[in-house]
Amino acid sequence: MKRRDFLKLSSLSLPAVLGLNPSAHASTMAALPANIKAGDWPALRDMFALTRSYIHLATFLLASHPKPVADAIERHRQAFDENPADYWHEHFMTIDAEVAASAASYMGGKGEQIALTDSTTMGLAMVYSGLKLRPGDEILQTVHDHYSTDLSLQLRAERTGAQVRRIALYEDSATITEAGVVEKLEEAIKTNTKVVAVTWVHSSTGVKLPVRSMADLIDSVNADREEADQIVFCVDGVHGFGIENVDVPSLGCDFFIAGTHKWIFGPRGTGLVWGSERGWHNSLAVIPSFSRSYDVWLGGSTQDQVPIGEHMTPGGFHSFEHRWALPEAFKLHLALGKDKIQSRIHQLNSQTKAGLAGMKHVRLHTPASDDLSSGLVCFEVEGMGPEEVVSRMHEKGIIMSATPYRQSYARFAPSLINNEEEIERALAGIRALA
Ligand SMILES: Cc1ncc(COP(=O)(O)O)c(C=O)c1O
């Protein structure tokens, strides 16, 4: 990295270097034609190298790269292999902002508010390590969160003595109600609660939390607090991102943390953190970024000239061919239509739940309601552990997963690459386990 590169940059804003204003750039990227018609699911399936020897009902764990993403990775990989130093120098000053702008064109908000990460886990660890806390401040989390949230908070507590309290937002996932969840949260918030950490869609039960209503409650608590005491609301949004047709800022949280290598079909090893003004204001970076913050260190510019998302993006060299191909995944989702994606995934999940609900030997743990569930269906088969269900189904050519939690369930994740007939075959497989 050359000082003169930074100095050139520091006298100009990044958009000026790009010759664009960021929002215009975002919409230009969004408008680029992706070679597919909205809602064309068979054409989408053809974009994946996924073997047809199996029915894939666990692709959300780690994406297979659709063709436009795979092609972009290959283009970048080849250019890096031919001439890594020049290729990096040509792009490093502008490309993170382009990737963040393409994310914003899909998820709403501004590219400047988005930090790029390598996974959900990295984003969670960054946010929970960097939140500014005073002695006595409490972090309130839930018993429904993933290992990555639990451990990020536990590690923070071990390092700093931060107080973490864990609550249940529901007892029985299948009968959860929106009002019940909000009530549990309201009862749990104390005067020293400074952070609320939750997971949008629980990979343990398939429950989708009513995040907007929870944010409304937190807003009403914050309205009676001094700014320094206001609660920062953090959401692990990974299962939901790439399904639900929402603008992320409209959810009302302060941090939205997600991997982009699951439902979004982005390159493996990519993710992001979107932060509100209050969220970022309450945070410190924990990993030095290779953004213009480097130039602040060199003395060429001041910290206020660096967009916060850039400053929070962990630096060092990454697998850039993957990160730089991420815009292709957002373009693909926009071309397919966010509204159509949401209704297709919910339709296939409803079909799955309706089928399972009719089986006497099956206990469904995911709510039937579209408002309280998303793309995951969790259940038990009488007299059979979840791992055995998974392996019996694998023998029948159906790939599913067991939830990686102390209380484990069998789990289907019907997604855009599935169709109605595959769901019926998977249901027949479970029916035959009776
Ligand atoms: C709710 C939840 N959060 C975080 C993760 C970890 O995601 P990543 O692999 O992107 O770090 C998972 C794993 O699937 C998860 O289910």
Euclidean distance between CA atoms 189 and 229, whole angstroms = 13
At residue 244, the pLDDT reads 98
Euclidean distance between CA atoms 431 and 420, whole angstroms = 16
pLDDT above 70: residue 25 = no
pLDDT above 80: residue 154 = yes
Domains of the chain, by residue range, sit at 98-333, 338-431
CB 311 within 8 A of CB 97: no
CB 307 within 8 A of CB 112: yes
Indicate the pLDDT class of residue 34, thresholds 50, 70 and 90.
Answer: low
Q: How far is the CA of 2 from the centre of ligand 1 (A)?
A: 36
Q: How far is the CA of 119 from the centre of ligand 1 (A)?
A: 8
Euclidean distance between CA atoms 353 and 347, whole angstroms = 10
Indicate the pLDDT class of residue 292, thresholds 50, 70 and 90.
Answer: confident
pLDDT above 80: residue 394 = yes
Nearest residue (CA) to ligand 1, atom 2: 146
Instruction: Tell me which CATH code domain 98-333 carries.
Output: 3.40.640.10
Half-sphere exposure of 401 (CA within 13 A, CB side): 18
Residues in the chain: 434
At residue 27, the pLDDT reads 34
Q: How far is the CA of 82 from the centre of ligand 1 (A)?
A: 34
Nearest residue (CA) to ligand 1, atom 14: 61
Classify 232 in phi/psi space as left (phi over 0), alpha (psi -120 to 50) or beta: beta
Q: How far is the CA of 403 from the centre of ligand 1 (A)?
A: 12
Share of the chain above pLDDT 90, in %: 91
pLDDT above 50: residue 8 = no
Mean pLDDT of 145-164: 96
Handedness of CA 108, 112, 118, 123 (dihedral sign): negative
Euclidean distance between CA atoms 408 and 364, whole angstroms = 13
Mean pLDDT of 122-138: 97
Q: How far is the CA of 25 from the centre of ligand 1 (A)?
A: 30
At residue 15, the pLDDT reads 35
Ligand 1 in reach of 120 Cβ (< 6 A): yes
Q: Of 126, 170, 345, 127, which Cα lies nearest the Cα of 240?
A: 345
Euclidean distance between CA atoms 425 and 430, whole angstroms = 9
Q: In angstroms, what CA-CA distances link 397 with 32, 56, 225, 391, 393?
A: 38, 9, 56, 10, 6
Helices (H), 83-204: 84-91, 95-107, 120-130, 147-160, 178-188
Ligand 1 in reach of 148 Cβ (< 6 A): yes
Ligand 1 in reach of 238 Cβ (< 6 A): yes
Nearest residue (CA) to ligand 1, atom 8: 120
At residue 357, the pLDDT reads 98
CB-count exposure of residue 82 (10 Å: 0-12, 13-18, 19+): exposed
pLDDT above 50: residue 1 = no
CB-count exposure of residue 277 (10 Å: 0-12, 13-18, 19+): exposed
Report pLDDT digits (tens) over 332-362: 999 999 999 999 999 999 999 999 999 999 9
Nearest residue (CA) to ligand 1, atom 13: 61
pLDDT above 70: residue 37 = yes
Ligand 1 in reach of 239 Cβ (< 6 A): yes
Ligand 1 in reach of 208 Cβ (< 6 A): no
Q: Which residue has the higher pLDDT, 312 or 16?
A: 312
Give, for 142, the enclosing helix (H) or strand (E).
Answer: strand 138-142
Ligand 1 in reach of 355 Cβ (< 6 A): no
Cβ partners under 8 Å of residue 111, min gap 6: 22, 25, 26, 97, 100, 101, 102, 103, 104, 307, 309
Ligand 1 in reach of 119 Cβ (< 6 A): yes
Ligand 1 in reach of 121 Cβ (< 6 A): yes
Structure-token pair, residue 28: 């230009």
Lowest mean pLDDT among 78-87, 219-228, 286-295, 408-417: 286-295
Q: How far is the CA of 149 from the centre of ligand 1 (A)?
A: 9
Mean pLDDT of 33-48: 91
**Mutational test site, ligand 1, from 61, 121, 145, max ligand atoms within 8 Å of CB:** 121
At residue 35, the pLDDT reads 84
Q: How far is the CA of 342 from the centre of ligand 1 (A)?
A: 20
Q: Mean pLDDT for the chain?
A: 93
Nearest residue (CA) to ligand 1, atom 3: 146
Euclidean distance between CA atoms 143 and 149, whole angstroms = 10
Mean pLDDT of 5-17: 39
CB 341 within 8 A of CB 245: yes
Report pLDDT digits (tens) over 85-122: 999 999 998 999 999 999 999 999 999 999 999 999 99
CB 349 within 8 A of CB 411: no
Q: How far is the CA of 234 from the centre of ligand 1 (A)?
A: 15
Residue 223 amino acid letter = A
pLDDT above 70: residue 14 = no
Cβ partners under 8 Å of residue 210, min gap 6: 178, 181, 182, 371, 372
Q: How far is the CA of 238 from the centre of ligand 1 (A)?
A: 7
**Mutational test site, ligand 1, from 148, 153, 202, 235, max ligand atoms within 8 Å of CB:** 148
Indicate the pLDDT class of residue 26, thresholds 50, 70 and 90.
Answer: very low
Nearest residue (CA) to ligand 1, atom 7: 120
Cβ partners under 8 Å of residue 388, min gap 6: none
Q: How far is the CA of 203 from the centre of ligand 1 (A)?
A: 8
Ligand 1 in reach of 271 Cβ (< 6 A): yes
Residue 129 amino acid letter = S
Which atom number of ligand 1 is nearest to the Cα of residue 199? 1
Q: How far is the CA of 121 from the centre of ligand 1 (A)?
A: 6
Instruction: Tell me which CATH code domain 338-431 carries.
Output: 3.90.1150.10
